[in-house]
Amino acid sequence: MAALGKLSAMDVTFPSQALLSVFPVNSFHAGVSMDSLPVSIVAAISLFPYFLFSLAFFVLGKFVFDWSTPHIDDQAELSERDNPAFALIFLGYMLGLAFAMAGSLSSLGPDPVVNLADIAVSGLGAIILLRLGMILGERLVLPGISFSREIVEDRNLGAGFAFAGLFLANGLVIGGVMAGRSDTWQDMLIDIGLYWLLGQVFLLLAWYLFRLIARFDLRKEIAEKNSAAAGLGLGGFFASVGIILEVALRGAGSDRLAEIFTASAVGLVGLLILAGARLLSATILFRGASPAKGKAAGASDSIASGAVSALASLASAVLYAALIGSQLG
């Protein structure tokens, strides 16, 4: 979380300002003349140590994934078995980890030591929370859809899409949490845990809401029928909720009651918007998958219907998040 940046009493607009005190320039936008180009290049290069340091934690996250899933040989799944379902969840996990760590890079201050410590704490926190999110995802958010059985044994694309979207959503939630601003170290730990739990509540609500509006047995479609379309629609819905929550939680501080109220209001309205988009996608974007003709979009054997369902959710989330960001930012 960007608490350390706040403790250094320095709010900045651009992360590049973190090391610019070393150079005779104040920001990327030092001017519009051609003379400013070398300055901007130097400013960008000055961020490279932070990039390498963050990349080290990104690699560490991959090893934690391997260590915490000893029953899965990721190299064999990706190469020898060429398992597309595992490739999807691996992509969702690693991309989610990148989004999670990006939150700590959004509010760097002028002190390199403080910045590196902030990245280290946030990086470790992101890895731990994302792994916890995986556990909760299998046991609470997607109950009855076994990670090992569906992904490794059955090579179930539907489960792969669903878990990938959930992991990506978790990464976005953590990224928003890590971009918050706390007053003290103690507040930082409490804020991270509290806002992350709020995100998990909304992901659980997203599961129940999608089941409600899908008009078919979602668990049966994914776990028993291996429906890639149903999993893609659900995964897109999860990712869309993550996009909204990332904006809702970004910059959250230690005024917890107010922050929870704001994030909850944004999240609930977002869920309603996504539900509406999900229902309209069948009749406007893809009439052939109309619920009136049998199955809702995302339940048919055609991946196209699931893709359209995911498109409707993701597009709505991006637009809504942009509007919310303009007001909260």
Q: Render pLDDT for 89-122 as a digit per residue (tens, 0 to 9).
A: 999 999 999 999 888 787 777 788 888 888 888 8
Contacts of 271 (CB under 8 A, 6+ apart): 202, 205, 206, 209, 241
pLDDT at 276 over 60: yes
Give the residue carrying structure tokens 């806002």.
195
Summarize pLDDT for 280-291 with one digit per residue, the tens.
Answer: 876 665 554 443
The CB-side HSE value for 215 (13 A sphere, CA atoms) comes to 15
Identity at 274, one-letter amino acid code: L
pTM: predicted TM-score of the whole model, two decimal places: 0.82
Contact 221, 230 (CB under 8 A): yes
> What is the domain partition of the chain in residue ranges?
3-328
Contact 311, 285 (CB under 8 A): yes
DSSP E strands in the chain: the ranges are none
| ∠ Cα 21 23 28 (to 5°) | 85
**Residue 45: how many CB atoms within 10 A of its CB?**
12
∠ CA 251-255-256, rounded to 5° = 90
Q: What is the pLDDT of residue 215?
A: 77
Q: What burial letters (b/e) apply to 299-309, b meaning 16+ CB within 10 Å?
A: bbebbebbbbb
